[in-house]
Chain A
């Protein structure tokens, strides 16, 4: 059974800072990793697919990288609207990670 682990659980940063979020898969998923953003009271929103490709309308400050078992979501300079929870997901039974909350320091 595929398990996704995300770290850290919470990331406290200030607007303008760089955010680096990690997702680790229990077995290799090649580059088949997806990232979502979820703001409070809203549905998840697709950010990144195929580990590094931005979905339509996603700002360039969001980038993804990685392959195999280790993946990273980077937000180059946090905007006020970026404070949210971020989830990674892979294809096997659409398994989600537990999420990383990015909150304001």
Chain B
């Protein structure tokens, strides 16, 4: 069965760029699913950041669109998140998740999450 695993630095300096990857195992990233990033902070709850299809098509949360970039690497069966110009408000647990638009129309598989702190 498909599993997702986030990886990346747990500490990022203010004004820097947060970079995370999500490895997809147990299945191909090149399916009919989309692949998304969601974060969770005490102040803002669960917040969808954006999603990507294996062709490279993307959709982003308008509130973060200018700072978020999601990319896919089919050769590594993974996708990645870049969030630029970070501040303390970007401190959160970051999750990657699979989006099933055909059966559930929901985020049906999630990674375990990785905490990221923005601090100098």
Residues of B contacting A: mostly: strand
Q: Does B28 contact A (CB under 8 A)?
A: no
Question: Are B61 and A55 in contact, with the CB atoms below 8 A?
Answer: no
Complexed CA–CA distance, A49 and B95 (Å): 20
Q: Which of A22-59 contact B (CB under 8 A)?
A: 32, 34, 36, 42-46, 49-50, 55
Question: Are A94 and B104 in contact, with the CB atoms below 8 A?
Answer: no
B contact residues around A93 at 8 Å (CB): 48, 61-62
Q: Does B53 contact A (CB under 8 A)?
A: no
Total A-B pairs, Cβ < 8 A: 51
B contact residues around A91 at 8 Å (CB): 105
For the side of the interface on B, what is the size category? 10 to 19
Chain A positions near chain B (C-beta within 8 angstroms) = 32, 34, 36, 42-46, 49-50, 55, 87, 89, 91, 93-99
